[in-house]
Amino acid sequence: MYDSSLFGLLQMLYETLKNEAKFLSNVGNQIADIRAEINRIHCFLQDADAKKTEYETVRNWIADIREVAYDVENILEKYMHKIAMRKDRSIWKENIALHNIGMETKDVMSRIENIKRCMNTYVDTGIRAICQGESSAEKSQWLTRSYSHLVDEDFVGLEKEMSKLVDELINEENDEFHGVFAICGMGGLGKTTQARKAYRHVDVQSHFQGFAWASISKQWQARDVLQSILTKLEPENRKQINKMRDDELVKALYNVQQRKKCLIVLDDIWSTNFWNSVQYAFPKGKGSRSKILITTRKKDVCEHIDPTCFLFEPRCLDAEESWKLLHKKAFPRVNTPDLKIDLELDRLGKEMVRECGGLPLAIIVLAGLLARRPKIDEWRRTSQHLNFHMSGESFEDDGGIHGVLALSYYDLPYQLKQCFLYLGNFPEGEKISARRLYQLWAAEEIIPLEGNQGEETAMMEIGERYLHELAQRYMVQVQLEETIGRIKSCRLHDLMRDTCLSKAKEENFLKTVSPQHLHQPMPCASSAKASSTRTVRRLSIIVDNNDVQNYFSTNDKSFQHVRSALFFPRRTGREGTAYPLPIFQGLCNNFTMLRVLHLEKFSFEEILPRAIGNLVHLRYLSLRHSHFQRLPSSVGNLKYLQTLDLRVNFFSYLTLPSTIPKLQNLRNLYLPPSHQNTYKLELSPLSNLEMLKNFDTQVSPFRDLFKLAKLQKLAAVLSLEFDEMKEIITHLMLRMGRLRETSFRIYYNFHSEKDLTLLKQLLGCDHLRKLDLIGHISKLPEHHFFSQSLTKLTLRRSGLQEDPMVILQKLPKLFTLSLRGNAYTGKVMCCSPQGFPLLKTLKLQGLPNLETWRVETGAMPNLVHLEIEDCKKLEKVPDGLRYLTKIQEITIIDMPDTFQNRLQEVQGEDFKVQFRKFFDAKKFPKIKSRMIFSGHMFSGLLQTICPSTVPQEWKKL
């Protein structure tokens, strides 16, 4: 019998589904509406940010809109993911998922409408506040002016540099070459003070006939500046000058600089726009005896005004100079009973001044604080207070040094602000890899992946431009790759990092957590300190091995809004130490919207948990130096992944899943140095790859490289036969036009003429940077066959009978050379004058027949590191070593006593000064064996270990 109750239930379900179908059909329209809304939101954020308003109402709107923007982005990602997964889900699951997305969309749209209503209500005051309100930059500009005079009275340090600047200013021979002199550096460095010192110097005052000083800053008017300068140069014509038209001002100022020698200081120029407005009033080049001295935080301003300008980049004060300046300003002129200049006071003062990072302005501000606290107990409290503030946990912009440093932040464009704030993720003092930083920026779409004109632009190129801009503004300290001139790494000055963390906290950009604050409530959506609409989106966590299990609850859903999680192990002083992370399963279940997961130096069980596949929104996954044996197949779910770093712990032999080819959005792939795969790993589907590291022809088909048309950087191990080697070299030379940097380790014996022809073709690749050749070479090709871009060369088992130095010393850009394991079998080796002009590292290892090594005067002028190992017949140290003035380190391993004794004899008084470090051979333990796994990609790295620990897979060289 038909059950009426069941009929009623089915009827109700039918009506529900019918209504739901209408609702679901509108989800796509809602998504389209929300896309348009987020574009408008983005425009508002950029405009409001550019105005830098301090009005609380408008700032709250901006904060609310930013939170909505994050939530909108999450909804869009969920929607796109559900659409992509349609074919793998049942219609019921699909409809449920879309229903949830639709409800979230309605909620967000409602929040947007509420914000709009508030904005309309307060539009008169709010928009006027944005357009007319006094900005932070203007306030900080006042701070700069109010503090700039403080350093004049007690100028400390840089006397030699200042003397050089003065000499250049008054040098008549410079008139033809230098009309513009620039003092360029970060805020608080005392640029204005140094300019004023030069301006007032007695030699300068007697050399020039006219003087004018103009403070430009950010709020400038061209007419006012020109009028002020001309009035100072010709004060007797003040009335006429005030009546001049703009073009008359320009002409009059130009003419007066032609008639007499003038020194004009343009202090604190912030943009090239200023110079574009006034440049025609300043003669440059031949015929002009006048000089312009500018100060700026931006190097591009100097280069824009005059690419040939004399650039003076003042350094920070050293510890002694910093203490001298603090001592002058902080200590009272007479001792009091409570304050004696004793060891305790010295200790406190030196500890505090060290926190100023050598910045004169920071030291002056600190000294002013200490001068008002004459008792030693007050100094102790001040020291504690300073340490608390410098820890980044408390930061208040009270008009001190941080207010001045923040000037640079306020001036950044919207996009660069996010780039700068992202640097706060990294631990204090961390040297940040530039390449890794670009990848992280791209993963969170802080930098775009495509060019503005629609043509594809490599992420690396965009990242380089952004970091270069921050470096030009002196907001980051950078280290260049000497070989190619690109930025290799960067770091934040401690004071600038405080500014970064302060702004990141103020804008709810990220939260840093360290072990000492572990047991405080975690920053999440449910935190009592967080408002209902303000959730932490980025976490940077210093993990302590003992407390790691306390970080997260397995079922805690309060982290579902976190989009970036960077975990750093607490430093132990030992490189490569792994830490366990037993709660990884909970992390993957709770951090459902993660785009970035950075887990370096962590230890898992044999297999990385399958839960990693739940993080379907990941763009960046780094497991560098971590320890596990197998990557789960669920990693194939990470379809949006752009960067995958599998350069695991040295002793981990990874088995990779066959699902890797599904990651077709990958731009950067770092394969493990050692594989255990029983099948060939196919990489040809990864057509978007721009960088591929640790590619090995024993693991993947070599022809896969031919299909990676966007590849720009390649590091590979090649173990091939002649025909295959010829095919891949031909392809590298002719077809991979976008390649700009390649590094190879090649196992091959170059015996015959056709082999040597192949070697010449390889050496001639323009993009070849690093080369490690393992195998016989019957004759080394002449130097003109080598790529002019080659910077690092390692030869092993080459069996060369002729001295390779004759050829290799002519390579113009070679920075590192290693000759190992019978690379050369001859008896005599000579480095000639002018040979190896840029060589910095030379390693000689296992050359059994080498008896005589001559280093002639002028050879290897830039050598810094020298390593000599296991060259048993080499008994005499080259006398020419004493002329290597830049050498810093010599490493001697497993060499005869006669060699060591001779080296000690050669060390004269002058020679000792040149060697900062000398490692006595007797201090090294006896080395039983040196081995390397054939597939390992750390070029030139040889691990010294006990033989019993060597895995069976390793092969002895």
Contacts of 462 by beta carbon, 8 Å cutoff, 6+ apart: 438, 442, 447, 448, 449, 451
827 confidence band (pLDDT: 50, 70, 90):
very high
Structure confidence at residue 445 (pLDDT): 85
Is the pLDDT at 202 greater than 80? The verdict is: yes
pLDDT attached to residue 526: 36
C-beta separation of 284 from 306 below 8 A: yes
Residue 265 corresponds to which amino acid? V
- pLDDT of 562 reads 86
pLDDT, averaged across the chain:
76
Token reading at 213: 């000083």
* Top-confidence residue, 177 or 148: 177
Among the ranges given (123-137, 293-307, 461-475, 806-820), the one the predictor scored with the smallest mean pLDDT = 123-137
pLDDT band for 547, please (50, 70, 90 cuts).
Answer: low
Mean pLDDT of 757-767: 93
**Which residues of 719-864 form beta strands (DSSP E)?**
741-747, 768-774, 792-796, 816-820, 828-831, 841-845, 852-855
Contact by Cβ (8 Å): 859, 836 = yes
Residue-wise pLDDT tens digits, 565-586: 998 877 544 444 455 555 677 7
Q: Give the CATH class of 412-507.
A: mainly alpha
Whether 613 contacts 634, CB under 8 Å: yes
Closest CA to 189 of 467, 396, 477, 428: 477
- Region 761-766: mean pLDDT is 92
Phi and psi angles of residue 412, each rounded to the nearest 5 degrees, phi first: -70, 145
**Best CA proximity match to 844, nearest among 823, 815, 808, 869:** 869
Note the pLDDT of residue 701.
93
Neighbours of 503 (CB within 10 A): 20
Beta 477-480 vs 487-491: how paired, if at all? antiparallel
Smallest CA-to-CA distance from 631 within 668, 663, 596 is with 663
pLDDT for 714 beyond 90: yes
Average pLDDT over residues 935-945: 30
According to DSSP, residue 796 is labeled E
Measured distance CA(795)–CA(774) in Å, rounded: 6
347: tokens are 């200790």
pLDDT digit string (tens) for 432-472? 999 999 999 999 888 876 544 333 456 778 899 999 988 87
What 3-state class would DSSP assign to 599?
strand
Return the ∠ at Cα 41 (arms to 37 and 42), rounded to 5°: 120
Give 811's pLDDT tier (boundaries 50, 70, 90): very high
571: nearest Cα among 420, 431, 437: 431
Reading across the β-sheet that carries 943-944, which strands appear in turn?
943-944, 930-932, 955-956
Higher pLDDT, 785 or 934: 785
What average pLDDT score do residues 54-79 get?
64
**507 or 666: which carries more pLDDT confidence?**
666
Which range of 355-359, 370-374, 693-697 scores highest in mean pLDDT? It is 693-697
CATH annotation of 158-312 = 3.40.50.300
Residue 954: the pLDDT is 36
Task: For residue 417, give the nearest of 461, 449, 447 by alpha carbon.
Answer: 447
Contact criterion met (CB below 8 Å) for 723 and 703: no
What's the CA gap between 855 and 857, in Å, rounded? Answer: 7
Give 111's Cβ-side CA count (13 Å radius): 22
CA–CA gap between residue 949 and residue 931 (Å, rounded):
11
- With bands split at pLDDT 50, 70 and 90, how would you rate the model's confidence at 291? very high
Q: Which residues of 192-207 are buried (b: 16+ CB within 10 A; e: fewer)?
A: bbbbbbbbebeebeeb
Could you tell me the two tokens for 263? 């020194």
Dmax over Cα atoms in the chain, in whole Å?
117
Give CA separation, 389 vs 22, 299, 498, 698, 949, in Å.
Answer: 57, 31, 8, 54, 48
Cβ 458 vs Cβ 486: under 8 Å? no
Integer Cα distance of 791 and 793 in angstroms:
7
Residue 689 and residue 671: Cα distance in Å, rounded? 13
- Contact predicate 771/794, CB 8 Å: yes
Bridge partners, 487 (sequence order): 480
pLDDT in tens, 922-931: 333 332 233 3
Spatial distance between the Cα atoms of 354 and 335, rounded to a whole number of angstroms: 24
Arithmetic mean of pLDDT, 522-540: 54
For residue 348, what pLDDT is reported? 83
State pLDDT tens for residues 292-317.
999 998 888 998 999 888 899 888 88
Which range among 146-150, 347-351, 662-666 shows the weakest confidence by mean pLDDT?
146-150
- How far is residue 712's CA from residue 736's CA, in Å, rounded to a whole number? 9
Percentage of the chain modeled with pLDDT above 70? 65
8 A C-beta contact, residue 363 and residue 353: yes
Write down the pTM of the prediction.
0.72
- Cα separation, 551 vs 598, whole angstroms: 16
pLDDT surpassing 90 at residue 779? yes
| CA distance to 151, 660, 736, per residue, from 706 (Å) | 62, 18, 8
Of 86-90, 280-284, 522-526, 826-830, give the lowest mean pLDDT range: 522-526
Rounded to the nearest 10 degrees, the angle between the axes of helix 360-371 and helix 401-410 is 150
Of the CA atoms within 13 Å of residue 523, those in its CB half-sphere come to: 19
pLDDT computed for residue 107 by the predictor: 66
Centroid of chain to Cα 843: 30
